[in-house]
Amino acid sequence: MRHHHEFDREHHHHGRGGEHHHGGGGRRQRFFGHGELRVVILDLLSRNASHGYEIIKEIETLTQGNYTPSPGVIYPTLDFLEDQQFITITEEDGGRKKIAITAIGEQWLEENSEHLEHIQERIKARNVGFELRKNPQMKRALENFKAVLDLKVNQGEISAAQLKQIIGVIDRASLEISQLD
């Protein structure tokens, strides 16, 4: 009996792990936290009916190329949304599937509007960094800055006074940049 219970627990755990892995799509999936992709997809669908490929492209545009969800991430999410009756997926001529948000989906999106705003703000914040890194000189300067800090703070024996000085330099630089015309 004990043996059976052990198997059951093992099996249950495996099932959950497997499912999570399915939605993982590798390291990049962390661009969106758990369940956030659903909100983003519904938001896109609330503006127009779409196809799976177009949703992928729109998310890519939204994140300025920072994140391209793989079909292995998108389609299970769409299946979930369809199960919840948040969307309808209808077969069109030519075998393409048309995806549209339902009234239930619209209502759920409305209830999660605050959540959506947080996600959009975070995407914007990430895109700022993305824009910075596109300029090769800026990229070099930032990498150099990180390397110097890393060397000084992490590898070096640093005193509290030195740390205070470094923080002062960073704060002054921030202030100077914010005051540029």
Query: DSSP for 84-104?
Result: TTSEEEEEPGGGPEEEEE-HH
**Residue 99: beta bridge partners?**
50, 89
On whether the CB atoms of residues 144 and 136 are closer than 8 A, the answer is no
Q: Where are the beta strands (DSSP E) in 49-141?
A: 87-91, 97-101
Which runs of consecutive H residues, i.e. helices, occur in 135-159?
136-149
Q: Which of 77-86, 120-129, 165-174 has the lowest mean pLDDT?
A: 120-129
First-to-last C-alpha distance (Å) of the chain: 75
Residue 52 burial class via C-beta count within 10 angstroms: exposed 0-12, middle 13-18, buried 19 and up: middle
pLDDT of the residue at 32: 86
Q: Other C-beta atoms within 10 Å of 65: how many?
A: 11
Contacts (Cβ under 8 Å, ≥6 apart) of 51: 96, 97, 98, 99
Q: What is the mean pLDDT of residues 144-164?
A: 86
User: What digits encode the pLDDT tens for the residues 86-142?
Assistant: 999 999 888 889 999 999 999 999 999 999 999 998 888 877 777 777 788 888 888
Question: Rounded distance, CA 100 to CA 78, Å?
Answer: 11
Confidence of residue 169 (pLDDT cuts 50, 70, 90): very high
Confidence of residue 41 (pLDDT cuts 50, 70, 90): very high
Number of residues in the chain: 181
Backbone angles phi, psi at 88, to 5 degrees: -115, 140
Higher pLDDT, 124 or 77: 77
pLDDT at 15 exceeding the cut of 60: no
